[in-house]
A and B are shown apart, each in its own frame.
Chain A
């Protein structure tokens, strides 16, 4: 997972310390392990199960978990819940991660340019950010999802469109303070181009907050995807996602509660794990400059 690899990638001077601090953050470690297991299960799980996610077993409709051949039971059509859950996990995690990547790249670009340039360029970019923030995200997402054809790729774009502003604001503030640092003056003194200063000198120093924001964005993107799919505007059946599995479970809440509980638990685990990772990274990378 990207979020897991993140603390290892940048340069080595804080690598040892940051990894150690991340590892000593118990909840973050639990989160990282949970996400690793979840990802692993979603990747290899479906091929190990005896049933396909679309395979209908009419004799075993509404089978409760742990009672027969279907480990997690079946849904109203007799489809295997375990197979659907893991396939849905692929979709949901993929949507979450890709939306994060897209929104982080867009937000970082806007933030770096706005923060470094300042002046009217910065003002225009940041007022655009404010404009986007002024839209209620849920309605924006629902409206866009209703107008556009909700393929997974489109869902990713729509979610990214409502999430990039926060990264932009964080990066802009960070860059604005970094550009007053002497090493940036030194870069100007050496006659380096603005693009070089922005992306090669300043950006690597702003990676801490970006990584933290990214890991929290994954959690929110997964939640948002579940939300719109639950309302029926997101991932469309028969393709499963955790959100639309919940949607399908609504009318059987009393008779077959596991249909809601199982995908609900998956969402909860994924979202809290990513949040824990985000908290751990925040402490490990010392983003707010606080020492514990």
Chain B
């Protein structure tokens, strides 16, 4: 194991005595039949007192398993095979469950990626913060209550006194993560583990939470292990960095060292793949026609709303929001207009709930719009019936966010690719031949045709999704967060593939994303959406260097690591 030897001695940080947490030669086994024998092998690192250590790696690198091992929260099938994890004076490996439980929360606590599933939906915020202390027999009811209030104030929640009585579903994603942080801080742990705590959050919220974690860490002198996949986040927050690849530590050192002069080839590749903001406009693709392929005019979509049964029977007699009364409505897309030229890419960026995905679904007619026009090659397709629109569907294709979910798990790749063309009258043999050619074109081998989606990695699946969308030689491709679920290195490859395809076929693209860095790389024009409206539309040079709207400025400022 030359790799583990190199990683454990040469660049190990810290000296004894200062470490709040030290991991030595940790080896965690996976059950038989998994892709590798060990989740992590021979990893050693120190978390210094009062510092933030970032563990970074792509999916499957073993970073979350490491964090769970420190908490003693490994699933039964996975066990520590060798090595030690020392937390202060205590040895975590082999510690009885009872002792571990008293340590958790008190000496070390954890915040998770998804605060909604980590919080109990049926308990108020106050009760959940209280429970952490009550479980460790800390304080009385009254002192715990005042401490809860203090904690909620500390994590910057508005109106903490009212917040105690609210339920998780009444809070925004950022507020929920603040509640999680308050719970993790309740017993003043010396070590805090944060497992991708900002990954599920919008960029502006992410920036706030990162700032909060940094502030609290400084104020309390806490030590934090921060697990992430995002080098932008590392640049914002880390003192020390551990880079993991396939269960090994390939490099570790101070943030400065690792980010500025990475030694390991893997780290260098990873850093090179991180999408950076490019404010230079893309060189336009030469196409024969210049008139727009797709034009949207005043597109509208309202969710919910409508009158309920009771309201129809007794019009005006029922209060809105009352049981069976008028339903609350949300205007998801509000007067959206743009035009897309042949061979051009329009980026639609925005935070969750901005309506960007709804626009994508409206354009592909997976949803019906409530108003406005969608002119495809000069013809309004918004009002066509499903049967009238079906012959046009091949011209407007979509690439979905989740390559796991968008392929039918029970169909072979060949079936998934050919079923559309066959339904539109292409003979199977011809469709199959084209599918094989396209698979090769998107960088997969011919054997992929007869295999099932689960046999492929995320990046490969997204290539299949792209191939499926290209089967029809579409005029417009709508890519809805097409690279968001992928690791950065894969992300860069897929973006390059999309760029190549566009240059070869002259297809126009709508590229929907929450990531401004990605949008800056592939788009000719960018539309910034907020609460259903386009607040700004312009080339990347304008959006990033000279943003006109306040919201765009806020978004650009929140991009981590820039």
Contact = CB atoms under 8 A, between A and B. Distances in A.
Interface string B398-420: 10111001111111000000011
A186 B410 contact: no
A201 B400 CA distance: 17
A151 B468 CA distance: 53
Given A12-B452, A13-B454, A191-B390, A186 B423 contact: no
Contacts of A190: 393-394, 419-420, 423, 468, 472
Interface residues of A, number: 21
Interface stretch (A77-85, A167-175, A177-185, A239-247): A177-185
Contact of A191 (B394, B454, B465): B394
Contacts, number: 69
Given A192-B420, A205-B410, A183 B364 contact: no
A232 B348 CA distance: 71
A13 B412 CA distance: 10
Contacts of B424: 191
Interface in A165-218: 181-183, 185-193, 196, 200-201, 204-205
Q: Specify the main secondary structure of chain A where it touches its partner.
A: helix
Nearest to B420: A190
Interface in B430-477: 452, 454-455, 465, 468, 472
Contacts of B410: 10-11, 13, 204-205
A13 B409 contact: yes
B405 A183 contact: yes
B401 A189 contact: no
B405 A182 contact: yes
A185 B409 contact: no
B366 interface: yes
Interface string A8-21: 00111100000000
Contacts of B401: 182
B478 to A, nearest CB: 9
A187 B400 contact: no
A128 B361 CA distance: 33
B345 interface: no
A189 B364 contact: yes
B397 interface: yes
A227 B407 CA distance: 47
Chain B interface size band reads: 20 to 34
Given A183-B406, A189-B364, A191-B420, A11 B452 contact: yes
A219 B301 CA distance: 50
A263 B455 CA distance: 50
Given A13-B452, A182-B402, A187 B408 contact: yes
A185 B406 CA distance: 8
A236 B401 CA distance: 61
A186 B472 CA distance: 13
Contacts of A201: 408, 411
B386 to A, nearest CB: 8
Contacts of B472: 190
Interface string B115-135: 000000000000000000000
Given A192-B419, A205-B409, A186 B468 contact: yes
Contacts of B408: 183, 186-187, 201, 204-205
A206 B535 CA distance: 43
Contacts of A189: 364, 366, 393, 397-398
A185 B420 CA distance: 13
Contacts of A196: 419, 423
Most A C-beta atoms less than 10 A away, residue of B390, B402, B410: B410
Interface in B369-413: 390-391, 393-394, 397-398, 400-402, 405-411
Contacts of A192: 419-420, 423
Nearest to A185: B366
Contacts of B405: 181-183
A206 to B, nearest CB: 10
Nearest to A181: B405
Contacts of A181: 405
A201 B408 CA distance: 7
A11 B472 CA distance: 27
Interface string A101-116: 0000000000000000
A186 B393 contact: no
13 contacts: A13-B410, A13-B452, A181-B405, A182-B402, A183-B409, A186-B398, A186-B407, A190-B419, A190-B423, A192-B419, A192-B420, A196-B419, A205-B408
Interface of A: 10-13, 181-183, 185-193, 196, 200-201, 204-205
Given A186-B465, A192-B419, 15 more contacts: A13-B410, A13-B454, A182-B401, A185-B400, A185-B406, A186-B406, A187-B408, A187-B419, A189-B366, A190-B468, A191-B390, A192-B423, A204-B408, A204-B410, A204-B411
